[in-house]
């Protein structure tokens, strides 16, 4: 998501801090990014503006926005007081989007990357925000034809929100492994489970695993430094994989690949939500939480990119690798009591195979790239949304 910043950074920081002090705990919002496709060839098509125009006057209009390239669209649940409300709206937004797309000759894709469409053929949408990013990043932004799902969670207290972000750093590899859906890109089978992460997180500045911060003052000092040195012109140019969002205000988890399957999108969002709340409760109760250095988190980060849910992650407490699936199962059980309290537990699930694993299995069987992608588009994205 890339909304243009309308406030000066000093006013923005002051307002954001005040809003974090008053925001209720554990509100939630989910953003999903979808590829716009030709329904016959499944190539990316630069037609976002047509979809945006079609949305005018509909219930979807305030929840549909552009996202970098004209062959991409983002839909948002909006802020929800409960996860049950968000889960219902994830399905409703997909249904509303399809209702606009189908009669206008669009198909929709929801893997982390498009398997073959060249980045050179994708047009940057014409907004001040994206024109500015194009001017700043050039090749880096041109290559970023990727699609994700972001989860925002309200955390009351500015210092508390920063500490929650810092603790979430330690669990980003697990969330990425679960979400991985992008083994193909630019016509290549990459052998990665999340090519999206390699393209986006490894190329953009101020991206990936952030430093561990202890207070809002420390975060504000860093943001102010970036503005004063001309390093950023908008707060959203801090592209960390988890960040305090200065406009909403929320803790935003941004690490995950897009999800073709509705049930898996809901399950992933539920885990992100419950994990954030579980960490907040642990901090409140003085429960010890890991605070790993970036170099160690990066080891698991690479494992998640390369092998996803099929591989191993390092258990730093035991000093040995364990299966990623076992690690996710442990994490689900750790967050379950809070998830039950907040009404999110019924959506917690780990699939038998996630989207990357399904695609890789079909590749190993000899299926063509187009056949594999068509299965993700037609079999999963068009399932009933109830």
Give one DSSP letter per residue of 290-319, joined into a string: ----HHHHHHHHHHHHHHGGGSEEEETTTT
The confidence score (pLDDT) of residue 378 equals 81
**Does residue 100 belong to any structural domain of this protein?**
yes
> Of the candidates 306, 372, 360, 362, which has an alpha carbon nearest to the alpha carbon of residue 109?
372
**Does residue 181 belong to any structural domain of this protein?**
yes
The confidence score (pLDDT) of residue 116 equals 98
**Does residue 289 belong to any structural domain of this protein?**
yes
> Of the candidates 30, 335, 311, which has an alpha carbon nearest to the alpha carbon of residue 180?
311
Burial of 53 (0-12, 13-18, 19+ CB in 10 A): exposed
**Does residue 384 belong to any structural domain of this protein?**
no
Please give the chain's pLDDT, 386 residues, in tens.
Answer: 455 566 799 999 999 999 999 999 999 999 999 999 999 999 999 999 999 999 999 999 999 999 999 999 999 999 999 999 999 999 999 999 999 999 999 999 999 999 999 999 999 999 988 999 999 999 999 999 999 999 999 999 999 999 999 999 999 999 999 999 999 999 999 999 999 999 999 999 999 999 999 999 999 999 999 999 999 999 999 999 999 999 999 999 999 999 999 999 999 999 999 999 999 999 999 999 999 999 999 999 999 999 999 999 999 999 999 999 999 999 999 999 999 999 999 999 999 999 999 999 999 999 999 999 999 998 655 544 44
> CATH number for the domain including 81?
3.30.590.20
CA 316 – CA 304 distance, rounded (Å): 15
Structural domain of 73: 9-375
**Does residue 43 belong to any structural domain of this protein?**
yes
Could you count the other beta carbons within 10 Å of the beta carbon of residue 56?
9
Residue with structure tokens 């309290």? 341
**Does residue 383 belong to any structural domain of this protein?**
no
The confidence score (pLDDT) of residue 250 equals 98
> How many domains does the structure of the chain reveal?
1
Burial of 162-183, coded b for 16+ CB within 10 Å and e otherwise, reads: bbbbbbbbbbbbbbbbbbbbbb
- Distances in Å between the alpha carbon of 245 and those of 2, 29, 75, 141, 225? 12, 12, 18, 21, 17
Are 110 and 32 spatial neighbours (Cβ–Cβ below 8 Å)? Answer: yes
Its pTM stands at 0.96
The confidence score (pLDDT) of residue 6 equals 67
Are 196 and 148 spatial neighbours (Cβ–Cβ below 8 Å)? Answer: yes
**Does residue 382 belong to any structural domain of this protein?**
no
H/E element, 69? strand 69-76
> Of the candidates 258, 254, 250, 229, which has an alpha carbon nearest to the alpha carbon of residue 240?
254
Q: Could you give the 3-state DSSP secondary structure of residue 135? A: helix
**Does residue 45 belong to any structural domain of this protein?**
yes
CA 187 – CA 372 distance, rounded (Å): 13
Bridge-based pairing of strands 107-109 and 207-208 is unpaired
């Amino acid at each position: 998501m890339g909304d243009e910043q309308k406030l000066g950074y000093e006013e923005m920081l002051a307002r954001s801090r005040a809003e974090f002090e008053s925001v209720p705990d554990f509100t939630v919002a989910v953003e999903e990014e979808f590829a716009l496709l030709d329904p016959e060839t499944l190539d990316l098509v630069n037609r976002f503006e047509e979809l945006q125009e079609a949305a005018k006057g509909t219930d979807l209009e305030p929840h549909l926005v552009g996202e970098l390239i004209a062959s991409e669209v983002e839909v948002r649940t909006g802020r929800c007081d409960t996860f049950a409300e968000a889960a219902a709206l994830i399905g409703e937004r997909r249904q509303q989007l399809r209702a606009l797309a189908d009669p206008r000759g669009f198909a929709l894709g929801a893997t982390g990357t498009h398997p073959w469409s060249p980045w050179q053929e994708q047009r940057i949408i014409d907004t001040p925000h994206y024109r500015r990013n194009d001017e700043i990043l050039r090749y880096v932004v041109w290559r970023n034809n990727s699609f994700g799902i972001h989860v925002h969670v309200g955390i009351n207290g500015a210092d508390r929100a920063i500490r929650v972000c810092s603790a979430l750093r330690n669990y980003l590899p697990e969330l990425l492994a679960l979400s991985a859906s992008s083994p193909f890109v630019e016509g290549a089978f990459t052998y990665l489970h999340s090519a999206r992460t390699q393209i986006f997180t490894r190329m953009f500045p101020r991206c990936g695993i952030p430093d561990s911060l202890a207070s809002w003052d420390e975060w504000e000092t860093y943001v102010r430094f970036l503005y004063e040195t001309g390093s950023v012109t908008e707060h959203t140019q801090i592209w960390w994989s988890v960040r305090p969002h200065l406009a909403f205000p929320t803790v935003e988890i941004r690490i995950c690949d897009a999800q073709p399957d509705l049930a898996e999108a809901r399950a992933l969002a539920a885990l992100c939500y419950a994990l954030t709340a579980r960490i907040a409760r642990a901090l409140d109760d003085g429960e010890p939480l890991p605070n790993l250095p970036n170099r160690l988190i990066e080891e698991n980060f690479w494992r998640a990119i390369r092998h996803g849910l099929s591989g191993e992650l390092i258990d730093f407490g035991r000093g040995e690798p364990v299966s990623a699936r076992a690690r996710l199962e442990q994490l689900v059980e750790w967050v379950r009591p809070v998830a039950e309290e907040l009404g999110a537990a019924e959506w917690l699930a780990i699939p038998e195979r996630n989207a990357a694993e399904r695609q890789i299995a079909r590749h190993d069987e000899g299926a063509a790239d187009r056949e594999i992608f068509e299965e993700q588009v037609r079999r999963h994205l068009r399932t009933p949304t109830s």
